[in-house]
Amino acid sequence: MARGSRLARLAALGLLGGLTLTGCELGEASWWEENFVRWGWPEGVTDEAEAMRNLWIGSTYAALIIGAAVWALIAWTVIRHRKKSDELPRQTAYNLPLEIVYTILPFIIIAGLFFFTVNTQNQVRDLSDDPDEVIAVNAFKWNWQFVYTDTAGPDGEPVDTVGTSTEIPILVVPTDRTVRFNLASADVIHSFWVPEFLFKLDVIPGNENGRDNVFDVTVREEGAYVGRCAELCGTYHAYMNFEVRAVSGDDYDDYLAARESGLGTFEALEEIGQEGVAGTTTPLDLVLDKVEDLQQTGG
């Protein structure tokens, strides 16, 4: 009893220490949810992210169950067939029923994983017949341009935002609306990645507005989220960042109206009460000055 009591106290202290180190409270359930419900998978801010999170969590629980079964079989084998004497155990060349089982079971597991993966992929890549907003995303070495295709600025052209060596481009999107992104690359393969979307898509040159370069997303939470290029595309790939600014539908409409009146990205964001510059990532002036020079000279 004394030993059991000491072990219980040590276990309790270990749990308390772990909770203390995480800086979270049990009442909030955030530590428990993150580590034992979502298993480290980010929560995401889109409808599509929820489908991918469910796939991840389901796959993790399936892996845990299979792993526990394998370890149980190993433990049973070690205990059941431990050495009892110097007599050589009966040797079995093969066991047909067992071989059939361990051939069929992995196939069933792989087929199940394949089915749910493809189903989730189809759900995430499904395109709406009538998206609420359409935004063209143009990737080039080493920056981004975002064009709001259904707008018209003072010059009659759609309003757009493009980054510079001193300004991170901000992509403004509305919440609770289906937004379609048409991706295009001016040079090499890039990749449009917003970690909070739990999704990224390669931007393949020569396939402008084709199905492979198009996706829909519905953002549910307002906020600022970092965006990156996730495909190694050249010398300054690491600095090819942008920011997604998710705002309410009304603020989004006001933002586009301000842009159409002639205001720039900074002024229009300030007009709707948002920060005019990106806060999730910042440019590295010394490096990106060289990028701008290369872009201006066509290098």
Position 95 scores a pLDDT of 83
Residue 22: the pLDDT is: 41
User: Which of the two residues, 71 and 82, has the higher pLDDT score?
Assistant: 71
Position 25 scores a pLDDT of: 38
**28 pLDDT more than 50:** no
- pLDDT, one tens digit per residue, over 1-19 is 454 455 445 444 444 444 4
Instruction: Indicate the average pLDDT of the chain.
Output: 82
Residue 92 pLDDT greater than 70, yes or no = yes
Neighbours of 89 (CB within 10 A): 9
Segment 60-71 mean pLDDT = 91
| Least-confidence region, from 19-28, 166-175, 196-205 | 19-28
Average pLDDT over residues 218-223: 92
From residue 267, alpha-carbon distances to 15, 27, 79, 137, 274 in Å are 51, 42, 73, 21, 10
| Mean pLDDT within 238-255 | 93
pLDDT at residue 254 in the model: 94
Least confident piece of the model among 17-21, 34-38, 278-282: 17-21
Answer yes or no: is pLDDT of 224 > 90.
yes
- Read out DSSP for 190-215? EEEEEGGGTEEEEE-TT-TTSGGGEE
pLDDT by residue (tens digit) across 247-271? 999 999 999 999 999 999 999 999 9
pLDDT of residue 5: 53
Facing residues of 136 across strands? Answer: 147, 182
Q: How far apart are CA 41 and CA 9, in angstroms?
A: 31
For the residues 204-213, what does the mean pLDDT come to? 70
Give dist(CA 195, CA 280) in Å, integer.
12
Would the pLDDT of 222 be above 80?
A: yes
Within 13 Å and on the Cβ side, how many CA atoms surround 29?
A: 3
Predicted TM-score (pTM) of the model is 0.73
Between these two residues, 231 and 7, which has the higher pLDDT value? 231
Q: How far apart are CA 230 and CA 89, in angstroms?
A: 56
Q: What is the mean pLDDT of residues 220-226?
A: 92
| Separation between Cα atoms, residue 53 and residue 51, nearest integer Å | 5
Of 194, 213, 210, 211, residue with least CA distance to 202: 213
> In terms of pLDDT, which residue wins out, 145 or 84?
145
Cis peptide before 142 (omega within 30 of 0): yes
Q: Which range, of 80-89, 151-160, 237-246, averages the lowest pLDDT?
A: 80-89
CB-based burial, 227-251: b 16+ in 10 Å, e otherwise: bbbbbebeebbebbbbbbbbbeeeb
Reading the block at residue 199, the tokens are 């999704």
Tracing tokens 């149980």 back to the chain, one arrives at 72
Q: Taking 80 as the threshold, does the pLDDT of residue 277 lie above it?
A: yes
DSSP of 61-96, one letter per residue?
HHHHHHHHHHHHHHHHHHHHT---SSSPPPP-S--H
Q: In which band, very low, low, confident or very high, does the pLDDT at 91 lie, cut at 50, 70 and 90?
A: confident
Please, which residues have CB within 8 angstroms of residue 131's CB and are 6 or more apart in sequence? 178, 179, 180, 216
Q: Is 58 exposed, middle or buried (0-12, 13-18, 19+ CB in 10 A)?
A: middle
Res 16: pLDDT = 45
Which amino acid makes up residue 124? Answer: V
Distance CA 35, CA 41 (A): 9
pLDDT at 60: 87
